[in-house]
Structure 1
Amino acid sequence: MTSLAFDLPQKDGRACAVRVAVPPGLMPADGWPVAYVLDLKQFEAMCADPLGLPGLLVGLGPAVPEDRRWDYVPAAWGASGRVANGTDDAAPGLRSGAARWLRILDRVRARVAGDWRLDPRRQVLCGHSLGALFALYVLTHRPRAFEGYVLSSPSVWWGDRYAARLLRRRRAWLCARGLPALGMRLSVGEYEQGLAPEERGAGLTDDERARRLGMRQARAMVDGMRELAGVLAACPGLRLESVVLPGRTHRTAPLDALMPGWRWLLAGA
């Protein structure tokens, strides 16, 4: 596997960090299948998959990873998922949100397409957590921008359950505009709405255990993923898979979500 790294400078002085991994062997006759994954941490984990890469993998994210709290969400919202006001702690350059990041993604794609021949029928967008929330934003605003979407543990709690409201509001338009040809895979870890076995032992105080359980139950990640899947299932003709990943937490869920999701989409091509 060969790799390339570059930074894409932005007008506000920040940068988008980009990493590209190319699998060994000959390029397919139709060009490389490609997956774009939000966040370099997830890119590195996908590169380490023991089965190897099924195509070109592009990782991208803010050069300062914490900026994803603003870059991946709609403008005028703070990092906590509440409507921003005069006390919002985001710098002015961070307040333009997901619409701006989608334009950055377009620039990354143009650069990658200029350097490699890509299969236009097998281009996928992957995201975990807030990255999956951004991928949902792309789906509901430009559904055919990608032929497939992999959403791992989308932040369904964010913005007073913004994701479900957005999807319900845009579903009819989405179905009429054109669904992604490869389909969509949604997943969440089994323990994202409760405690993992290691958290039930003596390693945590009762107060900390109660705090974690209360937060996860309030966020309702498993229920929220199922709600999104239910709305999407009403889209005629959409190839959809929704999975609760056994034994996985929010931190470990991407291991069974992103690469398996990419392969599942390609298997149906």
Structure 2
Amino acid sequence: MRASVVLCLLALLSSPALQAEPWQPATLAQAEMRELQSRHTGRTYRLYLSRPQGEAPPQGYPVVYVLDANLFFPLLSQQALMYQPHASRDGREAVLVVGIGYPGDAPFDVPARAEDYTPPAPDMRDTGDRLATRQGGAERFLDFLEDEVKPLVATRYKVDPQRQTLFGHSYGGLFTLYTMLSRPQAFQRYFASSPSLWWNRRYAFDLLQAHAGQEHRPQVRLLLSVGGGEQPAAGAELKDARQRHLAERRMVDNTREFHQRLNALGLPNELLVAPGRDHAGNAFVSSVQVLDFALQP
């Protein structure tokens, strides 16, 4: 009896009906990509675009620019499908998602993003980064976004230059804050998720103080987020090297302090703390929040 069952299963699995359709690579609905070599950084990037349905509004599509796009673009582009006017009954509008990533299938290009997303600083002998040797290329990368990516996107879709959002996580969050402080006019909204404020002995706080006195700053909106589990609780026993590492980086305390300093300087911002979420967990929580933030009135 048992032998008969096994023979039947083998016959079923070898049948032409089950072998007729081979597995194929999956593709994202309503999305496209291409690669582009930057004259500013000398590096090749992989650019992703969601494909909005229907005609663009008279002023153009609002745009969300997403860093670390190999990981985050699929999450946001598929959400954007739900933001089509014909598919929603709650007043949502179509949004264009632009992802900036790197060639290859890995979710992160660790050396490339460490260089592209970290600010230039006069002293980088002790940045706190144990892996990357090249850092401080944020100004070149920002030139790439402004001079190469944005014009290319505008030739493909009609965009609203007054409704553009930048979203970055971790080092991408640090770059988001650097952009807001150094060229606030580049975007109207900034979402910095779990920004690496520990980098280079909290250099971002120096930048904040240096740019605080600028006159005629554009009015922008900033959303800061951090996971409540990204830092051990006060007084907690640090049982292993990872816990000690998290305690040293003070992700929650640094983000709260940055939020408070922005308030003291009269720079409007909002802080979201995701209870219990670690660094990766807050990345995914933030990726769900960014489109609503970008389209708020």
| TM-score (norm: length of structure 1) | 0.81
Q: Does 1:142 align with 2:188?
A: no
Q: Which position in structure 1 is the counterpart of 2:169?
A: 128
Output the CA distance in 2 between the equivalents of 1:36 and 1:105. 9
Q: Which position in structure 1 is the counterpart of 2:281?
A: 252
Alignment of 1:255-266 (within 5 A): 255-266=284-295
2:118 corresponds to which letter in structure 1?
Answer: V
Over 3 Å counting, the alpha-carbon distance change for 1:95 and 1:247 in structure 2 is closer
Matched residue SS, 2:190? strand
Q: Which position in structure 2 is the counterpart of 1:57?
A: 97
1:264 deviates by 2.4
Output the CA distance in 2 between the equivalents of 1:221 and 1:58. 27
Match for residue 42 of structure 1 among 72, 83, 93: 72
1:24 deviates by 3.0
Output the CA distance in 2 between the equivalents of 1:253 and 1:79. 30
Output the CA distance in 1 between the equivalents of 2:132 and 2:100. 24
Matched residue SS, 2:35? strand
Alignment of 1:7-26 (within 5 A): 7-11=35-39, 14-26=43-55
Match for residue 127 of structure 2 among 69, 72, 81: 81
Over 3 Å counting, the alpha-carbon distance change for 1:57 and 1:251 in structure 2 is same
Output the CA distance in 1 between the equivalents of 2:66 and 2:80. 18
More deviation, 151-160/23-32: 23-32
Structure 1 gaps, min length 5: 201-205
Question: Per-residue displacement from partner, 1:106-138 (whole Å, max 9, x unpaired)?
Answer: 110110012111112210111000011111111
Report the RMSD for the aligned CA atoms in angstroms: 2.8
Q: Which position in structure 2 is the counterpart of 1:33?
A: 62
* Count of residues in correspondence between the two structures: 247
Q: Which position in structure 2 is the counterpart of 1:203?
A: none
1:103 deviates by 1.1
2:244 corresponds to which letter in structure 1?
Answer: G
Q: Which position in structure 1 is the counterpart of 2:231?
A: 193
Output the CA distance in 2 between the equivalents of 1:160 and 1:260. 29
Over 3 Å counting, the alpha-carbon distance change for 1:69 and 1:80 in structure 2 is farther
Alignment of 1:148-163 (within 5 A): 148-163=189-204
Question: Per-residue displacement from partner, 1:196-236 (whole Å, max 9, x unpaired)?
Answer: xxxx9xxxxx99x5211111111000011111111211343
Matched residue SS, 1:194? coil
Over 3 Å counting, the alpha-carbon distance change for 1:24 and 1:247 in structure 2 is farther
Over 3 Å counting, the alpha-carbon distance change for 1:62 and 1:152 in structure 2 is same
Over 3 Å counting, the alpha-carbon distance change for 1:8 and 1:50 in structure 2 is closer
Would you say the 8 A contact 2:118–2:135 is kept in 1? no
| TM-score (norm: length of structure 2) | 0.74
Matched residue SS, 1:36? strand
Q: Which position in structure 1 is the counterpart of 2:218?
A: 179
Over 3 Å counting, the alpha-carbon distance change for 1:63 and 1:213 in structure 2 is same
Q: Which position in structure 1 is the counterpart of 2:264?
A: 234
1:248 deviates by 1.4
Output the CA distance in 1 between the equivalents of 2:227 and 2:269. 18
Would you say the 8 A contact 1:153–1:221 is kept in 2? yes
2:190 corresponds to which letter in structure 1?
Answer: Y
Output the CA distance in 2 between the equivalents of 1:145 and 1:219. 29
Would you say the 8 A contact 1:14–1:63 is kept in 2? no
